[in-house]
Amino acid sequence: MTDLSLVTVTKHKRIITDLSNANLSKADLSSVDLSYVNLSGACLSGANLSGTDLSGADLSGADLNDVNLMHSNLSNANLSGADIRDANLMSTNFSNANFSGAKLCRVNLMGADLSYADLNGADLSGAYLSGADLMGTNLSGANLHGANLKNAKLGGVNLSDSV
């Protein structure tokens, strides 16, 4: 694993491209440009990523428990198999993101943009999706037990085999 102390990150300027399997738990990476960075398998639990650009980033299999991603951009990001429980994802852009098989239990997705995202087989139990944009989203096989979808935009959503 890469330790954060070995990596230099400056706000508003991306100087790294591969942080796969890095230990970035509890790091403050707010407002950093991490677009298209490989963070697959990274540990980001408890990290502050608010306002961060992670568009096109690979976060597959990453540990994002209790992370703050409020007002961030993760459009076209790969979050397949990621563990994102108890995270603050409020007002975040996840359009066209891949969450297949991800664990999103008890996350706050209020006002988030999940349009055309792939949440096939994702666990959204207890998730708060009030006011979220789910237009065209694939929720086939997803676990929505106890999820709050009040005022969510659900046009064109695929809910086949969801519970």
What are 24-49's pLDDT values in tens digits?
999 999 999 999 999 999 999 999 99
Q: Which residues of 118-151 are buried (b: 16+ CB within 10 A; e: fewer)?
A: bbbbbbbbbbbbbbbbbbbbbbbbbbbeebbbee
Domain ranges for the chain: 1-163
- How does pLDDT run across 82-137, given as a tens digit for each residue? 999 999 999 999 999 999 999 999 999 999 999 999 999 999 999 999 999 999 99
pTM: 0.90
Cβ contacts of 11-14, under 8 Å, gap ≥ 24: none
* Range in 6-20, 66-80, 140-154 the model is least confident about: 6-20
| Lowest mean pLDDT across 1-5, 51-55, 78-82, 125-129 | 1-5
Residue 140 to residue 119: CA distance in whole angstroms: 7
Tokens for 68, please give them.
């703050």
**CATH classification (class only), 1-163:** mainly beta
